[in-house]
Structure 1
Amino acid sequence: MMEAILHGWILSLGLILPLGAQNVFVFNQGALQPTLWRAIPVVLTAALCDTALILLSVLGVSLVVLTVTWLKTILYAVGVCFLLYMGYLTWRSRPSVDSGEAERFSPQKQVIFAASVSLLNPHAILDTIGVIGTSSLTYSGGEKWGFAAACIAVSWLWFFGLCLAGRMAGRLDTSGRLLRVLNRVSGLIMWAVALYMAWMMISS
């Protein structure tokens, strides 16, 4: 059991660490929201979406994404469009910490955007299916669920930690310059991911 848990922990940490649209969005909301509590919707949404993907992968349900070509194409197309749009909104935002005029996402927007970058990102889904789902086949019974629980725990701890790091960065930035730079970097990352996804969709 401990081997399965350790395997799930290390594997999930390796998958979640790379900088992507989901991580950037969680960090930014932690930095932009006036209190840590106000950024909880984005953390919960991202963590719950990851939990759902992990459970579906371990159960084998999400393998349908790999076998239905038209479904995968639609997923890519929607993901590209949404990331282009979200990158535009992020690039345009002009936070100003001193004046309290930062452009912040409402709880509803946080939930919608976090769910979108989590569930409309084909690479995140394919990574979950291809890596976590495939790795879980090594185990059965309690070991399989221990493996899945470890993967899920990493997601929850990571997103809370990422939001807290964003909050600390936001408090250190009294002029709003750091947040403006982060928004520009975030927008570029989202556009880059969208273009890469578009290229994958066309070449596949």
Structure 2
Amino acid sequence: MHFVQGFATGLALIVAIGSQNAYVLRQGILRQHVLPLVLFCALSDALLILAGIGGAGLLIRDNAALMTLTRYGGALFLVAYGVLAARRAWQGAPMPTDTGGGATLAAALAACFAFTFLNPHVYLDTVVLLGTLANQRPDPERWVFGAGAVSASLCWFAALGFGARFLAPLFAQVLAWRVLDGLIALTMWVLAAMLLLD
């Protein structure tokens, strides 16, 4: 029961449209570095969730300097990535839907790292919120709840990254890429505005 509650809660927080999900979706359509990105996202969530259960949520919630740094740094990164996506949408260049070309693994992981750890909401959702919900339970149930949330993250990112390949025929068209990149740019800018106005 605690595992299922953790799974459902984790899924509800992770599935929301965000910069990290948009990036994994795009890389999944391109079939570029999907497994490393899926593992990176899932392991990052696992680390943050377990840190929250271990008590780090209280430290992060009360650290104004850390939250301010991630807030402005994250907003700057989102705006910049949104500009790149908007430029791709404007140019409308066709993109490969195979594993050739594109960003290197190091560049893809660096971008994913920024999308993950420069987002203050990831700390609030995983460390603070999930940590708080888990810690309302005694041992070992709180860790079972956490295992459910970690499993939800792994399932979601695997489905997003590997399921995106079924969209590849659609994205053989230039217009589909222009629409996707336009939506990604808009998502990045809206998220940046939300960070700054939060």
TM-score, normalisation: structure 2: 0.89
| Structure 1 runs (4+) greater than 6 angstroms displaced | none
Q: Percent identity?
A: 29
1:129 alignment partner in structure 2: 127
2:35 alignment partner in structure 1: 40
The total of aligned residue pairs comes to 195
Kindly indicate whether residue 107 of structure 2 is the aligned counterpart of residue 109 of structure 1: yes
TM-score, normalisation: structure 1: 0.87
Instruction: Give the counterpart of 1:120 among 107, 118, 130.
Output: 118
1:192 alignment partner in structure 2: 190
CA spacing shift, 1:116–1:175, aligned 2, 3 Å: same
What does residue range 148-163 of structure 1 map to in structure 2 within 5 Å?
A: 148-163=146-161
> Is contact 1:29-1:105 (8 Å) kept?
no
Instruction: Give the counterpart of 2:74 among 79, 82, 85.
Output: 79
Instruction: Give the counterpart of 1:165 among 163, 166, 169.
Output: 163
> Is contact 1:29-1:104 (8 Å) kept?
no
Q: 1:83 offset after TM fit, Å? A: 1.0
Q: 1:89 offset after TM fit, Å? A: 1.9
Aligned equivalents of 1:79 and 1:92: distance in 2? 20
Provide the aligned C-alpha RMSD in A: 2.2
Q: 1:99 offset after TM fit, Å? A: 9.5
Can you list the C-alpha shifts for 1:143-173, whole angstroms capped at 9, x where unaligned? 1211111111110110010012321112333
CA spacing shift, 1:73–1:142, aligned 2, 3 Å: same
What does residue range 60-75 of structure 1 map to in structure 2 within 5 Å?
A: 60-75=55-70
1:59 alignment partner in structure 2: 54
Unaligned runs of 5+ in 1: none
Kindly indicate whether residue 4 of structure 2 is the aligned counterpart of residue 9 of structure 1: no
Unaligned runs of 5+ in 2: none
Q: 1:122 offset after TM fit, Å? A: 0.7
Aligned equivalents of 2:120 and 2:54: distance in 1? 19
